[in-house]
Amino acid sequence: MKLFHYLPVGVCAAAAALLLASCGVSKRSLKQSNRALTAALQASAQKEQAEALKLYSDTSIPQGEARKSVSRNNPGQTALEQTIIRWAIDSDPQGARVFYRVLSSIPAVVKNTNETYLMTTPYEETRAFNILGLTYENSRDVQIEIKVVKTGYEAQVKRFNVRQAIDQQEISSFFMLVPKE
């Protein structure tokens, strides 16, 4: 699509170069005009790209934080690591064991994890995400899976999108446990 956008300019430049060459203009002045045309095309492309980024920028991401990832090398250096999330998990009957794990659709960047035991229901805590490789930009591709298990009842699982949890500053759910037959 960009080719068609710049085609008339390219055609005009070629026609102008031919016209100037037929009039006896020197190679030096042709090179200068080609450089000027190239610079103008690059400036136009940069302006168009800047306008597109401005239109499609995500205003919910703090300035400069979109690509800063959580890492072991610089712990606590990103706004994402300092974001505190409220975790509230309850069940009926209470006393069910609560596990969580990270599920990622981009495992090369954010690794999937094994289940980690949290506590029994009712479970309430405020804590930050410590998911290595997580950025605001890729947080939409990562989920937290909460699993609730109690002897004599069916295990239940719910998944929460990490970006949504960050925006809401909460992961909360109620599990109505179903007895095994």
At 39 the pLDDT is 84
Report the chain's mean pLDDT, rounded to a whole number: 79
Q: Which DSSP letter does residue 6 get?
A: H
pLDDT tens for residues 95-109?
999 999 999 888 888
Query: From CA 66, how far away is CA 60, in angstroms rounded?
Result: 10
Determine which helix (DSSP H) or strand (DSSP E) holds 34, and give its type and residue range: helix 27-56
For residue 65, the SS3 value is coil
**What mean pLDDT comes out for the span 150-172?**
92
pLDDT tens for residues 46-86?
777 766 565 445 666 666 666 666 666 766 666 677 678 89
Residue type, 54: K
At 130 the pLDDT is 76
CB 168 within 8 A of CB 120: no
Q: Which DSSP letter does residue 72 get?
A: S
Of the segments 33-47, 57-71, 78-92, 147-161, which one has the largest average pLDDT value?
A: 147-161
Query: From CA 66, how far away is CA 15, in angstroms rounded?
Result: 45
What is the model's pTM? 0.61
Query: From CA 95, how far away is CA 33, in angstroms rounded?
Result: 78
At 25 the pLDDT is 60
